[in-house]
Amino acid sequence: MDPTVKLIFSIFAGATVLLNLYGAFTANRKLFLWGLCLFSILPIIGEATGFNTDKASVHIAVIILFVVQLILTLPVTRDTANDNNAVVSKLIFKMMLSVLVINIGGIIYILCFNSGVPHRFGYCHAVIALSILYVMIRRMSGKAFWN
């Protein structure tokens, strides 16, 4: 990958991770979800540009997983969600669990396998996963969390 492209990806990843963290720690649902949603674009672009026929199934699987994450974290779909409704609350929990599993898979794929992706992006996935865990734990505490 070109060093300029790596730099642009790194800056964008850092900005989206910071947006996600800021949303998590200030209990701002829209910023939290925008950080996750925008971060999902990076693996999609990265896998699409690095696509080769040797690992076509891996590239397609990663693209599909992060398209799913992109769709699940679109903030516009959460405006009408009421955390007081038990069904909606359980559904949101399951969706966040799915996004957590996708990002843990990203950590394993980048840091444990010879994927060719710089390790800093694996660390970004780790920070995203920790922010999701933080939000899930805060939500399970029983208090209203989001502003």
Helix (H, G, I), strand (E, B) or coil at 136: helix
pLDDT band for 54, please (50, 70, 90 cuts): confident
pLDDT for 102 equals 95
Element (H, E) at 92: helix 86-111
Q: What is the mean pLDDT of the chain?
A: 87
pLDDT for 144 equals 62
**Alpha carbons 27 and 110: distance in angstroms, whole number:** 29
Locate 55 and state its tokens: 């690992």
pLDDT for 42 equals 93
Range 92-96 average pLDDT: 89
pLDDT band for 78, please (50, 70, 90 cuts): very low
Residue-wise pLDDT tens digits, 100-126: 999 999 999 999 988 888 999 999 999
Locate 14 and state its tokens: 């850092």
Residue-wise pLDDT tens digits, 10-45: 999 999 999 999 999 998 989 999 999 999 999 999
